Structure 1
Amino acid sequence: MYLEPIATAAAYMAPAPELGPSSTAVRAALQPASTEPPAQTAELSVLTYNVRGLPWPMASGRGAALHEIGRELAALRREGRQPDVVLIQEGFRGEVAGLFRESGYRYWAQGPSRSERTPFAGMVVGARDLFRGEGVGKLMGAGLHVFSDAPIVDVRSIAYNNCAGLDCLANKGAMLVRLAPEGVPTPIDVVNTHMNSRKASRAPRSRTLPAHNGQMRELSAFLQANRQPGNPLLLGGDFNVRNSPARYYYDALDRPYTVVREFCSQPASGCGDGAADATSEPWLRSQDLQAFSPGAVRVQPLRSEALFTAASAKRPLSDHEGYLVRYRLSWSAATLAAYRPTPAMEVKPHKLGVKVSFKR
């Protein structure tokens, strides 16, 4: 494993030469994949939400907040407005099990555990600072969870090798769940991730920036190795990129996906309500992102909205808002003709520590 010297951090700070809504990826996403009219369409909504499920003494009162989030999701379900898929970050506490039970979802998958390790052939940030939590081991897993109404047919995960500061105490990484929504002719690959923070890590920028960029490289390698060719990709999570062009634009031209806020900033996107505003680089105004890439099934963001906002709750349930995107899925007659349903994974009783859970 190659240890990258911190002096190379300056090399990561230069943004890509072609950025933002005029980039090749966004232009390509705006173009029709085929002139053939779709045989059928469906919609799928994805919520990404950092629930701040930190253990005591890092935070207090979080167990009650997690249960309240579960009740809020259940209320949305009673109204027929529940997200089809929920991506959770910072779900470190056992009360996540209660959140799952109360929310009404049938399938539950979890990301890397505390002990999971993933070999990585690329560069990794070198020296460790024990006083800031580096090199002392992992005290927690990744805190990543996915709830779904559609069956989960596969789960993959990666524990990032790069980290800086207090973030190293958690086994941050990414997870891919392969969903089989009823009637959709291919599975859908959904990825959830949580990346290195800045100030909260208590580490200097000279360490947090290369660590974050290293995690982006690891995420790209994970997607390349685990995404099923032909499956559409939906990606979400806490990317910790707010007000940081150096983080957001790192390796931007090599991304195998299009960021929703960039896509929706275009007049021709058809995103409708919740489209990104006209201010400069609105995708830099949040830590939380969603992105997409088509497969045999085409994907298009329709609209987005914030959930669990300060204005909508009696008290803040997290230090993040939930970010929900509704996507249109469409496919051709040829794709539909080749449709072969995929059986769901064998599942186990739901509790923290198992990979996939199922609730009847």
Structure 2
Amino acid sequence: MVMFMAGSLFLAGGAHAQPAAPLATLEIALPIIEPARTGMEPAQARAPDLSVMTYNVKGLPWPIATGRADALERIADRLARMRKDAVQPAVVVLQEAFRSEAKSIGDRAGYRYQIVGARAQRVANPVSRRAPFRRRSAAPQLDSGLIVLSDFPIVEVDRAAFPKGACAGMDCFAAKGVVLVTLDVPGKGKVEIATTHLNSKGASWASEKETERAYRQQVDFLVDFLRSNRNPAIPLILAGDFNLGDREERLAILPPALMRLNGGLAPSEALRGCIDADFMPDVHSDDAQWVLERARDMQYVLPGDRRTIAAVAASIPFGTEAGGEPLSDHFGYTIEYRLTAPAGMLASRDETPAAARPNVSIASMPVPHRSTGQSDEQAAIRAN
């Protein structure tokens, strides 16, 4: 029984009971930023160029979690209703999307472009259903649980699992890693989106020494992977479950590594910036504060050499629920972004907007792999 309860937290980042928060309105239009509040000119205060939601949906399989099917279906249905009202996030990055109900969120919510993360290696002796926590193989039993959903065309994909051994405890059951995609935003050019899910601490059932080692190895791999595969000319949004927390040893690992990735400067935290600038509805202020205090779910913003990006609004479509429990042990929040180009700088030829290109279907085309120049046969991209 003890092991089963521990397993229910596996890969979830060690979430605890949430502090009381005011009831949030479930269906709201994403906020319009008034020029007087933001200091922007009226032309700048129009609709954003891009919106990104990050959400750890707790799509854990049996026997780690039970009773998750209904919540996952409700997540998908709410996103579908948001689409009907034209307020859906243009991009959604999911973590812990292991179950079939989690993997079908994109289809149910109407996202045309879908990318999945690394798959688990095939193993000859899988985990026994009678003894589900008895490992019979060093290989992960689950895939990465990472999914990127997009309304905009995805033109390049890179993905990788963390190296063998770069995990601790029960997190080793999953092929955690990183997914990096390049979007073609009509009229605005290219933007990169990356998502990841780093090793938990207490929920992993590993020693503090082991979890710190795994966390450092994963962060080092993440930064090296992004440095090798990203296009520094265009902006990068790095979103996911970083399992940072207010933990001294992890604060000494992740922020300095991200500074190295960003040319020695700390990348901005989009949600924190929106709260500081009063860019979000008051109804969600307590939910947002809870997300900040937990310091798991982040959206880091790294500008490009040729293009910059700024967060201009935030909302929490999946937070405190009226009359019930939240749909996950994490909150799903959306950041709206505006893309700009430095003064006198024009988009390069390889950033030609999709709207200006011939109308070519990619439904049956493999996605090019950025680092090798070869097609990636496991891109798992679908176009309706």
TM-score over 0.5 for the pair: yes
C-alpha contact (below 8 Å) 1:48/1:87 kept by paired residues: yes
Which one-letter code corresponds to 1:113 in the other structure?
Answer: R
**1:335 aligned residue (310, 334, 346):** 346
TM superposition shift of 1:181? 1.0
CA RMSD of aligned residues (A): 3.2
Q: Which residue of 2 aligns with 1:291?
A: 300
TM superposition shift of 1:67? 1.6
Q: Which residue of 1 aligns with 2:107?
A: 101
Q: Which residue of 2 aligns with 1:225?
A: 228
**1:258 aligned residue (252, 268, 276):** 268
C-alpha contact (below 8 Å) 1:50/1:88 kept by paired residues: yes
Q: Are 2:221 and 1:211 aligned?
A: no
Give the alignment of 1:1-360 within 5 angstroms: 42-115=48-121, 136-161=138-163, 162-185=166-189, 187-255=190-258, 256=262, 257-261=267-271, 263-264=273-274, 270=277, 272-273=279-280, 283-295=292-304, 296-312=306-322, 314-331=324-341, 332=343, 334-336=345-347, 338=349, 339-341=351-353, 346-348=362-364, 354-360=378-384
Q: Distance in 2 between matches of 1:217 and 1:167?
A: 17
The 1:165/1:254 distance shift into structure 2, 3 A limit, reads: closer
C-alpha contact (below 8 Å) 1:299/1:329 kept by paired residues: yes
C-alpha contact (below 8 Å) 2:49/2:188 kept by paired residues: no
TM superposition shift of 1:96? 3.0
Q: Distance in 2 between matches of 1:106 and 1:274?
A: 29
TM superposition shift of 1:89? 0.3
Structure 2, gaps ≥5 residues long: 1-42, 123-132, 366-376
Q: Distance in 1 between matches of 2:308 and 2:278?
A: 15
The 1:348/1:168 distance shift into structure 2, 3 A limit, reads: farther
TM superposition shift of 1:156? 0.3
C-alpha contact (below 8 Å) 1:213/1:250 kept by paired residues: yes
Q: Distance in 2 between matches of 1:280 and 1:99?
A: 27
Q: Distance in 1 between matches of 2:205 and 2:74?
A: 30
C-alpha contact (below 8 Å) 1:259/1:291 kept by paired residues: yes
The 1:133/1:47 distance shift into structure 2, 3 A limit, reads: farther
C-alpha contact (below 8 Å) 1:306/1:323 kept by paired residues: yes
TM superposition score normalised by structure 2: 0.70
Q: Distance in 2 between matches of 1:112 and 1:165?
A: 19
TM superposition shift of 1:282? 8.0
3-state SS of paired residue (1:358): coil
Q: Distance in 2 between matches of 1:233 and 1:313?
A: 37
Q: Distance in 2 between matches of 1:239 and 1:132?
A: 27
Q: Which residue of 2 aligns with 1:127?
A: none
Q: Distance in 1 between matches of 2:219 and 2:251?
A: 10
The 1:241/1:274 distance shift into structure 2, 3 A limit, reads: farther
The 1:271/1:134 distance shift into structure 2, 3 A limit, reads: farther
C-alpha contact (below 8 Å) 1:348/1:356 kept by paired residues: no
The 1:281/1:210 distance shift into structure 2, 3 A limit, reads: farther
TM superposition shift of 1:313? 6.8
Listed one character per residue, the Cα deviations across residues 11-57 of structure 1 (whole Å, up to 9, x for unaligned) are xxxxxxxxxxxxxxxxxxxxxxxxxx99x995211100011111111
The 1:82/1:198 distance shift into structure 2, 3 A limit, reads: same
The 1:337/1:48 distance shift into structure 2, 3 A limit, reads: closer
3-state SS of paired residue (1:168): helix
The 1:134/1:323 distance shift into structure 2, 3 A limit, reads: farther
Listed one character per residue, the Cα deviations across residues 135-190 of structure 1 (whole Å, up to 9, x for unaligned) are 622101100000000000011012112100000010100100110011113x1110
Identity of aligned residues (%): 34
Structure 1, gaps ≥5 residues long: 1-36, 117-130
Q: Distance in 2 between matches of 1:197 and 1:272?
A: 30
TM superposition score normalised by structure 1: 0.74
Q: Distance in 2 between matches of 1:44 and 1:235?
A: 14
C-alpha contact (below 8 Å) 1:47/1:323 kept by paired residues: yes
3-state SS of paired residue (2:104): helix
Q: Distance in 1 between matches of 2:187 and 2:64?
A: 44
C-alpha contact (below 8 Å) 2:310/2:337 kept by paired residues: yes
